[in-house]
């Protein structure tokens, strides 16, 4: 009795640790402590699960459990220590997938025991089993496929079938039908049906991520994050564990909120992201291009930056790809030393997962008060002397504001053209992820600086040094 | 339908728990600033490692001769633990970078 009481207190404290931990995540000053509390919560729960009294003569199999816990911890720890900050989206995707896979395993074990008669499950219980298999399965294969996309192992265009959204709809309808059939038949049909259900769920995971790519990656990762949490919550119902339900639902809620935020940041509905993709519509972009592009020399750019009062840097994923955050910070230091106020304007979907750019700049020692979000940045831009755009494109496209024919019309963007002058660092005149022309490059106040971001910033840095 | 009413009434407490946790989750997380979205995601990702609890219970309850279930559970614990341990460690690494810049 006392032991059960202590165990339940542990689970309760664990849940509180999660909630309090997430609450502390709302400020950079307390976030680290919050993560620690959540970790403590998890540890308490694992201890509780190890010693909690279970009904009947329990075999325990502690050898298996400890071996697995140690192996998992070591692999998790080392991959977390080794991973580069640019690869965070890949890492989060893989972890999402593992959580989903674990939920699938739990669901599968229940399926086995249901059909060999060692566990009695009622219809609603079996519905939970199917939900665990489905959500966990989609989170698993979807995340692994998202990882492959982020690593450029697959080509977005090659994996999208014609009428892809129709295929997905059919698969989903098939899953619902098959699920209903399994529930109605109960033990009358064999285990095969449940296995087929799982297999289709796994295929659906890949198929659902396949057509989404490029700039929509932050949405997909958030959504998969949410699914991995929900699969944990479903598995929690199977094991009658309030703790698992609380943890899973919190993650589900966090993933859902981030998904919605990312969609809002692109002015698109979640259905549009899941079904559409930019591919089909981008050609419609009726933007009249033309006009001439003005280039600026490194020397002129250096002088302009050095003698201005305020500079706002707009980093995009191009900056991260070129690994140019550190050079960027060096330029920042030199300008700041000359009394120039340097800030960074960060669009919510810059980078490949929510908040990715902030982490990359934090890694390069840029203090977080210098990082402005969309609204702060737009008010700061109207009084800025120079806006420097490094490797960003669609998020600074004025067509989103004033060209109703553009596919990104209505998307909230960074209004860099309100700054007194704009310098765009760009590899070439190629259009961005979405394949949309950017009239900003032809704007009166815009000057271009072509080349690899790291290379150009390096040269710019030495020019400034020699002033 | 009777079945459904019965389920609802039998599980009233867990349904309350679900509803309140969802609301609480939305409420807490909506306050997280953009700067911290990536750590939030990897931190909450670590929390989704709660599935490891289920895997531990599964293995504890399995007959030692039932190697199929044992291996499933063994794999499940490894997967869940990588998710949990890796998630917390990598989040800590990121948040450390945010912290040291405080002047």
Is the domain of B24 the same as that of B3?
Answer: yes
The per-residue pLDDT for B102 is 47
Per-residue b or e along B30-69, where b marks 16 or more CB atoms closer than 10 Å to that residue's CB: eebbbbbbbbbbbbbbbbbbbbbbbbbbbbbbbeeebeeb
What is the overall mean pLDDT for chain A? 88
Task: Supply A391's token pair.
Answer: 């490797």
Is the domain of A233 the same as that of A343?
Answer: no
Q: In terms of C-beta density within 10 A (0-12 exposed, 13-18 middle, 19 or more buried), how is residue A418 classed?
A: middle
Is the domain of B8 the same as that of B55?
Answer: no
Residues 57-86 of B with CB under 8 A from A: 57-64, 68-70, 72-86
| Annotated active-site residue in A333, A394, A403, A452 | A394
A321 has a pLDDT exceeding 80: no
Q: Does any domain span residue A195? A: yes
Quick: pLDDT tens for A280-312: 344 334 444 566 788 888 899 999 999 999 999
Contact A230, A296 (CB under 8 A): no
Alpha-carbon gap, residue A234 to A245, rounded angstroms? 7
The per-residue pLDDT for A36 is 97
Only one residue has tokens 């000053």, namely A29
Domain that holds residue B57: 34-103
Is the domain of B22 the same as that of B53?
Answer: no
Contact A371, A358 (CB under 8 A): yes
Is the domain of B51 the same as that of B26?
Answer: no
Task: Supply A126's token pair.
Answer: 């079996």
A421 has a pLDDT exceeding 80: yes
Is the domain of B9 the same as that of B27?
Answer: yes
Higher pLDDT among residues A227 and A430, named by residue: A227
Q: Does any domain span residue A81? A: no
Higher pLDDT among residues A224 and B11, named by residue: A224
Q: Please state the rounded mean pLDDT for residues A188-194.
A: 86
The per-residue pLDDT for A270 is 83
Among A94, A250, A320, A357, most B C-beta atoms within 10 A, so best to mutate, is A250
Is the domain of A137 the same as that of A234?
Answer: yes
Q: Is A394 among the residues known to form the active site? A: yes
Is the domain of A435 the same as that of A318?
Answer: yes
Model confidence band, residue A222 (pLDDT cutoffs 50, 70, 90): very high
CB contact under 8 A, B90 and A80: yes
Is the domain of A316 the same as that of A443?
Answer: yes
Is the domain of B26 the same as that of B41?
Answer: no
Alpha-carbon gap, residue A98 to A454, rounded angstroms? 35
The per-residue pLDDT for A279 is 42
Residue A288 CB coordination number (10 Å): 10
Residue A187 CB coordination number (10 Å): 11
Q: Residue B78: closest CA among chain A residues belongs to which residue?
A: A72
Domain that holds residue A110: 87-276
Q: Please state the rounded mean pLDDT for residues B33-54.
A: 93
Is the domain of A182 the same as that of A247?
Answer: yes
Report pTM.
Answer: 0.89
Is the domain of A267 the same as that of A323?
Answer: no
Q: Give A57's contacts in chain B (Cβ within 8 Å).
A: none
ipTM of predicted complex: 0.93
Out of A252, A276, A300, a domain closes at: A276
Is the domain of B13 the same as that of B40?
Answer: no
Model confidence band, residue B100 (pLDDT cutoffs 50, 70, 90): low
Residues 47-86 of A with CB under 8 A from B: 49-50, 52, 54, 58-61, 64-65, 67-69, 71-73, 75-77, 79-81, 83, 85
Number of domains in chain A: 3
Nearest CB among A68, A229, A358 relative to B44 is that of A229
| Beta bridge pairs of residue A312 | A343, A387
The per-residue pLDDT for A285 is 41
Quick: pLDDT tens for A245-271: 999 999 999 999 999 998 888 888 888
The per-residue pLDDT for A73 is 97
Alpha-carbon gap, residue A271 to B71, rounded angstroms? 39
Q: Give A219's contacts in chain B (Cβ within 8 Å).
A: none
Q: Please state the rounded mean pLDDT for residues A142-160.
A: 86
Higher pLDDT among residues A155 and B64, named by residue: B64
CATH number, domain of A389, equals 3.40.50.1220
Q: Does any domain span residue A75? A: no
Q: Residue B82: closest CA among chain A residues belongs to which residue?
A: A76
Helices (H), chain B: 2-10, 12-29, 37-47, 51-61, 67-81, 87-99
A368 has a pLDDT exceeding 80: yes
A235 has a pLDDT exceeding 80: yes
Is the domain of B27 the same as that of B38?
Answer: no
The per-residue pLDDT for A199 is 97
Is the domain of A232 the same as that of A168?
Answer: yes
A228 has a pLDDT exceeding 90: yes
CB contact under 8 A, A106 and B58: yes
Is the domain of A227 the same as that of A343?
Answer: no
Q: Please state the rounded mean pLDDT for residues B76-85.
A: 96
Is the domain of B14 the same as that of B47?
Answer: no
Alpha-carbon gap, residue A197 to A204, rounded angstroms? 10
Is the domain of B88 the same as that of B38?
Answer: yes
A314 has a pLDDT exceeding 90: yes
Is residue B6 less than 8 Å (CB to CB) from chain A?
Answer: no
Alpha-carbon gap, residue A98 to A143, rounded angstroms? 9
Number of domains in chain B: 2
Sign of the alpha-carbon dihedral angle for A160, A429, A344, A359: positive
Is the domain of B48 the same as that of B89?
Answer: yes
The per-residue pLDDT for B93 is 94
């Amino acid at each position: 009795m006392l032991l059960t009481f202590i165990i339940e207190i542990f689970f309760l404290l664990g849940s509180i640790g999660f909630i309090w931990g997430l609450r502390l995540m709302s400020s950079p000053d307390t976030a680290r402590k919050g993560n620690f509390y959540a970790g403590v919560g998890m540890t308490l729960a694992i201890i509780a699960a190890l010693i909690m009294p279970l009904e009947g003569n329990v075999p325990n199999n502690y050898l298996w459990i400890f071996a697995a816990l140690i192996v998992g911890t070591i692999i998790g720890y080392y991959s977390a220590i080794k991973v580069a900050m640019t690869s965070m989206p890949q890492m989060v995707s893989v972890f999402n997938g593992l959580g989903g896979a674990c939920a699938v395993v739990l669901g599968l074990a229940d399926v086995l025991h249901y059909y060999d008669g060692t566990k009695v499950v009622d219809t609603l219980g079996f519905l939970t089993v199917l939900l665990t298999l489905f959500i966990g399965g989609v989170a698993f294969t979807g995340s692994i496929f998202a990882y492959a996309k982020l690593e450029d192992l697959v080509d977005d265009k090659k994996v999208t079938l014609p009428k892809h959204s129709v295929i997905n709809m059919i698969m989903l309808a098939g899953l619902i039908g098959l699920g209903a059939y399994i529930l109605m038949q109960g033990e009358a049909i064999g285990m095969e049906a449940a296995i087929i259900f799982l297999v289709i769920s796994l295929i659906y995971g890949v198929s659902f991520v396949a057509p989404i790519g490029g700039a929509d990656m932050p949405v997909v990762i958030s959504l998969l994050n949410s699914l991995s949490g929900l699969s944990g919550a479903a598995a929690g119902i199977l094991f009658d564990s309030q703790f698992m339900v609380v943890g899973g639902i919190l993650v589900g809620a966090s993933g859902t909120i981030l998904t919605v935020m990312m969609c809002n940041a692109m002015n698109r509905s979640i259905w549009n992201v899941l079904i559409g993709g930019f591919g089909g519509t981008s050609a419609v972009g009726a933007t009249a291009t033309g006009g001439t592009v003005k280039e600026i020399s490194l020397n002129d750019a250096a002088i302009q930056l050095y003698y201005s009062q305020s500079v706002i840097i707009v980093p995009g994923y191009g900056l991260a790809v070129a690994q140019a955050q550190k050079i960027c910070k060096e330029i920042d230091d030199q300008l700041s030393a000359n009394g120039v106020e340097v800030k960074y304007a960060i669009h919510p979907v810059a980078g490949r997962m929510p908040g990715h750019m902030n982490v990359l700049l934090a890694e390069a020692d840029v203090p977080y008060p210098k990082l402005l979000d969309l609204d702060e940045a737009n008010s700061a831009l109207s009084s800025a002397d120079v806006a420097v755009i490094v490797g960003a494109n669609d998020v600074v496209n004025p067509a989103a504001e004033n060209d109703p024919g553009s596919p990104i019309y209505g998307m909230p963007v960074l209004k860099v053209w309100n700054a007194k002058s704009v310098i765009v660092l760009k590899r070439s005149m190629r259009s961005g992820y979405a394949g949309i022309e950017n009239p900003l490059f032809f704007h009166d106040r815009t000057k271009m600086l072509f080349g690899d971001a790291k290379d150009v910033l390096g040269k710019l840095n030495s020019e400034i040094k020699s002033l | 339908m009777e079945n459904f009413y019965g389920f609802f009434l039998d599980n009233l407490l867990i349904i309350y728990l679900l509803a309140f946790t969802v609301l609480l989750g939305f409420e807490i997380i909506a306050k997280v600033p953009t700067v911290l979205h990536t750590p939030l995601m990897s931190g909450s990702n670590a929390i989704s490692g709660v599935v490891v609890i289920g895997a531990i219970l599964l293995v504890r309850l399995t007959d030692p001769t039932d190697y199929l279930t044992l291996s499933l559970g063994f794999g499940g614990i490894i997967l869940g633990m990588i998710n949990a341990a890796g998630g917390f460690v990598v989040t800590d690494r990121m948040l450390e970078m945010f912290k040291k810049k405080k002047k």
